[in-house]
Amino acid sequence: MLDARYVADNLDEVRRMLRRRSPAAAGLLDGISSLSSKRRELIGRTEALQAERNAANDGMAQLAKSGDKAVMGQRREQLKALSERIKDLESELSAIETEMQDRLLSIPNVPHPSAPDGESDEQNPTVRTWGEARSFAFEPKPHWEIGTNLGILDLERAAKLSGARFSVLWGAGARLERALITFMLDLHTREHGYTEVYPPFLVRAEALVGTGNLPKFEDDLFKTRRSDPNDPSALYLVPTAEVPVTNLHADEVLEAADLPRAYCAYTPCFRSEAGSHGRDVRGLIRQHQFDKVELVRFAAPESALEQLELLTSHAEEVLRRLGLHYRVVEHCAGDLTFSSTKSYDLEVWLPSQRAFREISSCSTFGDFQARRAKIRYRPEPKAKARLLHTLNGSGLAVGRTWLAILEQYQQPDGSVLLPEPLHAFMGTDRITGVALR
């Protein structure tokens, strides 16, 4: 969430920064200026009346000494009326502040000055490319054909169980999913210095507000239903481990000496894909349930950009160890996610589509999430607490890594070679057999 005072005092500047995202984003500021002016006016009137009340209270003390009961009764009535006026103003001020808060919760983060200009993902510049696209002596198949032919992927039975955009993995397919999760967690904890976390998969609404998922993306979430559907204690299935892990330190003050903090977590993720409009209806690209290993970092503001580069390199290392051809693109201002101020996407090559597809998004959010979740740090002992900066990225989306291996390592006989780091996990160097059906 943006700083209400900064927005009010620098409205034109904030509007200019949001216009880099889109005119619509800048338009969300309409009305903030008048609310801010009304708030300042109410604060001034309230403080003036409070000062008047304080003076009246002092006067009552003097009258008590004189013993003039008639005057004292009159002054009590005046003081009571004054207190009622103050109470009314405070109620009006509270309503204004609530409206401002609600508006700010729906306003996206401002792009970092270093984020490139642009209106859509088509204008995202490529930062670097790693590896080369494999050449095939045959027409490469899509992962859903490879997996189905090997008997390790079953979309039909998943649809019978749960509907569209779910999958069942059999035999070596299920083992490969588990192997990838273990490989990623081991790499990030043993070599990259992350502390592994196993968080709840159900969270309160407050946690989703803290990361910016609510109220903006309510339609993309799965919500549990209690006996009373209006029960505010109903929980949400996590759309990503970013939500519970970031909120581990909600309402806390960390010490600068303990920063940066780095956590990684595996969770299943649940998304309704309300805005996908029929994209990627086949295969595993866009599922309602999928596995992901998430990287989360907490940093002092001055080191956040450096931490973003480090986090991105950690996600890249997974792809490099697995020998998967990929590229890194930077989000232009118009393609940034709601909470992000600067982001990179890792895009893996899919031979069947002859295209790169996102497999990780690595972002810094500035103090946008920290303000919503009230996560602060103390720059030095006994210093006033300040908002820290939060960062996260997929390290990686497991299902998309799974399908990228099938497509990039497919063989003419229909088998799939396995990257060397997975041999020990899988107990083989190739997937060849047909699982039970």
The tokens 């599922």 sit on which residue? 287
Count CB atoms within 10 A of the CB of residue 233: 9
3-state secondary structure of 395: strand
Considering the domain architecture, whether residues 238 and 338 belong to the same structural domain is answered as yes
Domain end position, chosen among 105, 138, 161: 105
What tokens appear for 295 in the block? Answer: 């990287």
3-state secondary structure of 401: helix
Bridge partners, 362 (sequence order): 344, 393
Q: Is residue 335 part of a domain?
A: yes
The per-residue DSSP string of 237-288 comes to E-SSTHHHHHGGGTTEEEEGGG-SEEEEEEEEEE---TT-TTTT-STTSS-S
Q: How far apart are CA 110 and CA 108, in angstroms?
A: 7
Considering the domain architecture, whether residues 62 and 176 belong to the same structural domain is answered as no
CB-based burial, 106-121: b 16+ in 10 Å, e otherwise: ebbbbbbeebbebeee
Tell me how far apart the terminal alpha carbons of the chain are, to the nearest angstrom. 50
Considering the domain architecture, whether residues 101 and 145 belong to the same structural domain is answered as no
Considering the domain architecture, whether residues 267 and 386 belong to the same structural domain is answered as yes
pLDDT on residue 82:
84
Q: Is residue 113 part of a domain?
A: no
Q: Are 308 and 335 contacting, i.e. CB atoms less than 8 angstroms apart?
A: no
What tokens appear for 379 in the block? Answer: 């720059």
Q: Is residue 326 part of a domain?
A: yes
Q: Are 409 and 324 contacting, i.e. CB atoms less than 8 angstroms apart?
A: no
C-alpha dihedral sign at 296, 297, 301, 305 = negative
Considering the domain architecture, whether residues 59 and 205 belong to the same structural domain is answered as no
Which residues are identified as catalytic? 271, 286, 358, 361, 400
437 confidence band (pLDDT: 50, 70, 90): very low
Q: How far apart are CA 341 and CA 113, in angstroms?
A: 9
Domain CATH number, residue 127: 3.30.930.10
Task: Quick: pLDDT tens for 99-144.
Answer: 988 899 999 999 999 999 999 999 999 999 999 999 999 999 999 9
Domain count, the chain: 2
Count CB atoms within 10 A of the CB of residue 82: 16
**Residue 131 DSSP one-character state:** S
Closest CA to 398 of 422, 369, 415: 422
Q: Is residue 393 part of a domain?
A: yes
The least confident of 73-82, 342-351, 359-368 is: 73-82
Average pLDDT over residues 387-409: 98
Considering the domain architecture, whether residues 152 and 92 belong to the same structural domain is answered as no
The least confident of 87-91, 198-202, 235-239, 274-278 is: 274-278
Q: Is residue 399 part of a domain?
A: yes
Alpha-carbon Rg for the chain, nearest whole angstrom, is 28
Considering the domain architecture, whether residues 133 and 86 belong to the same structural domain is answered as no
Considering the domain architecture, whether residues 130 and 216 belong to the same structural domain is answered as yes
Domain end position, chosen among 81, 105, 129: 105
Tell me the H-state helices in 191-241. Answer: 205-211
Considering the domain architecture, whether residues 174 and 95 belong to the same structural domain is answered as no
Q: Are 189 and 418 contacting, i.e. CB atoms less than 8 angstroms apart?
A: no
4 confidence band (pLDDT: 50, 70, 90): confident
Considering the domain architecture, whether residues 38 and 86 belong to the same structural domain is answered as yes
Q: Is 84 exposed, middle or buried (0-12, 13-18, 19+ CB in 10 A)?
A: exposed
Domain CATH number, residue 51: 1.10.287
What share of the chain in percent tops pLDDT 90?
75
pLDDT on residue 229:
63
What share of the chain in percent tops pLDDT 70?
93
CA distances (Å), origin 377, targets 1, 78, 384: 17, 47, 9
Task: Quick: pLDDT tens for 207-247.
Answer: 999 999 999 999 999 999 877 766 767 899 999 999 999 99
Task: Quick: pLDDT tens for 30-60.
Answer: 888 788 888 888 898 888 888 887 777 766 6
> Is the whole-model pTM more than 0.85?
yes
Q: Is residue 111 part of a domain?
A: no
Average pLDDT over residues 328-354: 98
The per-residue DSSP string of 43-56 comes to HHHHHHHHHHHHHH
Considering the domain architecture, whether residues 313 and 393 belong to the same structural domain is answered as yes
Task: Quick: pLDDT tens for 283-327.
Answer: 999 999 999 999 999 999 999 999 999 999 999 999 999 999 999
Q: Is residue 264 part of a domain?
A: yes
Considering the domain architecture, whether residues 264 and 139 belong to the same structural domain is answered as yes
Domain end position, chosen among 105, 140, 159: 105
Q: Which residues contact 218 (CB under 8 A, 6 or more apart)?
A: none
81 confidence band (pLDDT: 50, 70, 90): confident
Q: Is residue 218 part of a domain?
A: yes
Residue 352, pLDDT > 70, answer: yes
Domain with 73, as residue range(s), is 4-105
